[in-house]
Amino acid sequence: MRETTTRISSAEVTRQEEFCEKISELLTAQPKEHLAYVDTYGCQQNEADSERIRGYLKAMGYGFTTDENAADVIVINTCAIREHAEDRVFGNIGALVHAKRRHPGQIICLCGCMAQEPTVTEKIKTSYRHVDLVFGPHALWRFPELLYRVITRRGRVFETPDEAGSIAEGIPVVRQDGVKAWVSIMYGCNNFCTYCIVPYVRGRERSRLPEDVVAECRQLVAEGYKDITLLGQNVNSYGKDLGLEVDFADLLAEIDAIEGDFLIRFMTSHPKDASQKLFDVMGRCKKVAPVFHLPVQAGNDRVLKAMNRVYNRSEYLDKVRRLRQAVPGVVITSDIIVGFPGETTPEFEDTLSLVEEVEYDALFTFIFSPRPGTPAAEMDDPIPMAEKKANFQRLVDTQNAISAKKHAAYVGRTLRCLIDGVCEEEGFALTARTPGNRLVRVKEGGKELIGTFQTIAITGSNTWSLWGELAQA
């Protein structure tokens, strides 16, 4: 098979660095501190994209702030997955009119998934005239050039090319955290679940080359990062577009072989592509954390079919069984949508019984939100919102009881955890994560322990977290 992914040449990326330098020269001509504010909505993929936007901004000479009034450049990196997320973004962009009035030279940029929706771009063009630059995910790698155009011409720029997508290597990155790092291994999605807008805004699946991913991970380990999460909309189909004999399980094994004491995580996985080979490799690899996010979305076969998920309930449950066999004690989490068009309460109850059968460690639950342009948005939906909300609450209550029970089973155990931050809550000093990524609040301990693995005796739990004390190893 031949490679199908378009790669941006290093000369093109170097050209973007030149735009960073040109902007830097313009900034140095005005002797003051120049600040940028990057506001991120949505998933980890967006967090990872914002790290690249910050990388470019730093190369241009900007410092960072979280105060919109102090910022010379504001970049809002948006999420389109649900209507609620979009409403929040519109509310916040609307409010920026005041910041800009106080700070007339301020440049406001909108990027991310919403920027790629034609209806949103139209609305920004006509009703949010204080937004200077709009660019979609496909144009992110050209952010310096676009910003330069705005700065030098003082005109508005809209760059939302409708394309399948490409891959650019070598963009600078400013990471927010010194312990945990996100590494995108692929972009886009080919699955077209009927409710989901992602394939329309992020384009087709395309994988980074394994050597680029491994080199980035090796560099992160050398810099002291302890927790690396590999990101993609469907990491299990990694490599299919490359025309190489390498799949996601092979990539995991290669990263696992990097010298050093660190953990590897990944998300998200589509159940249809979660293979026995991957489960076996996970079971064998020492550094791959025993945690698997395996979104089921629904437990009823008619609904799964209408969602175009291409697996049924029994196939999903079979994968869970095989995963647990290959990786004993694995923490399993999932995403569920309640109230897909036409989902009746008896159909929803199949989701409930699946949740009871699997006993997830944690769930991310959503009420269906119609996304313009997706097939599900056009489907008949006679079920009243009150019924959907009642079902949603039943699901949350069921999962809360399971989470509380699962967390209680940790009490009395001693686990090697990664200390990842300061705990703001009274009576606790630090936060930590179990290998399965459960939150642990640690009673005592100094900040110098952040970024180290420590043995922690778990002494208590509730629905959402565990707590404990540093123990002698």
Nearest Cα residue to 406 out of 304, 291, 314: 291
SS3 276: helix
CB of 199 to ligand SF4, least distance (A): 5
Rank residues 391 and 461 by Cβ distance to ligand 5AD and give the closer one: 391
x/- letters, 202..241, toward ligand 5AD (CB under 6 A): ----------------------------------------
Distance between CA atoms of residues 249 and 273, nearest Å:
11
Among positions 196, 294, 354, 442, the unique one binding ligand 5AD when judged by CB under 6 A: 196
Relative to beta strand 331-338, strand 362-367 is parallel
In the block, tokens 């409403």 appear at 87
**Residue with CB nearest ligand 5AD?**
335
Residues 6+ apart with CB under 8 A from 319: 271, 274, 294, 311
User: Quick one: tokens of 71?
Assistant: 């910022």
Number of residues that bind ligand 5AD (CB under 6 A): 12
Among positions 185, 189, 264, 354, the unique one binding ligand SF4 when judged by CB under 6 A: 189
Distance between CA atoms of residues 142 and 76, nearest Å:
16
Among positions 199, 370, 375, 460, the unique one binding ligand SF4 when judged by CB under 6 A: 199
Q: Does 364 bind ligand SF4 (CB under 6 A)?
A: no
DSSP 412: T
CB of 114 to ligand SF4, least distance (A): 15
Q: Do 440 and 411 meet the contact criterion of CB atoms below 8 Å apart? A: no
Among positions 368, 392, 428, 467, the unique one binding ligand 5AD when judged by CB under 6 A: 368
Relative to beta strand 206-207, strand 186-187 is antiparallel
Residues 6+ apart with CB under 8 A from 445: 419, 429, 430, 454, 470
Helix (H) / strand (E) element for 112: namely strand 107-112
Q: Do 469 and 457 meet the contact criterion of CB atoms below 8 Å apart? A: yes
Among 192-200, 318-326, 336-344, 457-465, which window interacts with ligand SF4 (CB under 6 A)?
192-200
CB of 185 to ligand SF4, least distance (A): 15
Rank residues 93 and 231 by Cβ distance to ligand SF4 and give the closer one: 231
Distance between CA atoms of residues 440 and 428, nearest Å:
10
Residues 264-303 that bind ligand 5AD (CB under 6 A): 295, 297
Q: Do 362 and 390 meet the contact criterion of CB atoms below 8 Å apart? A: no
Amino acid identity at 17: E
CB of 189 to ligand SF4, least distance (A): 3
Q: Do 417 and 432 meet the contact criterion of CB atoms below 8 Å apart? A: yes
Helix (H) / strand (E) element for 402: namely helix 385-408
| Binding partner at 233 among ligand SF4, ligand 5AD, none, C-beta below 5 to 8 Å by kind | ligand SF4
Q: Is 424 exposed, middle or buried (0-12, 13-18, 19+ CB in 10 A)?
A: exposed
Rank residues 366 and 453 by Cβ distance to ligand 5AD and give the closer one: 366
x/- letters, 236..275, toward ligand SF4 (CB under 6 A): ----------------------------------x-----
| Binding partner at 337 among ligand SF4, ligand 5AD, none, C-beta below 5 to 8 Å by kind | ligand 5AD
Q: Does 288 bind ligand SF4 (CB under 6 A)?
A: no
Among 58-66, 161-169, 177-185, 365-373, which window interacts with ligand 5AD (CB under 6 A)?
365-373
Q: Does 207 bind ligand SF4 (CB under 6 A)?
A: no
Residues 217-236 that bind ligand SF4 (CB under 6 A): 233-234
User: Quick one: tokens of 421?
Assistant: 């931050």
Q: Does 366 bind ligand 5AD (CB under 6 A)?
A: yes
Chain residues in the site for ligand 5AD (CB under 6 A):
81-82, 195-196, 295, 297, 335, 337, 366, 368-369, 371
The residues binding ligand SF4 (CB under 6 A) are 189, 191-193, 196, 198-199, 233-234, 270
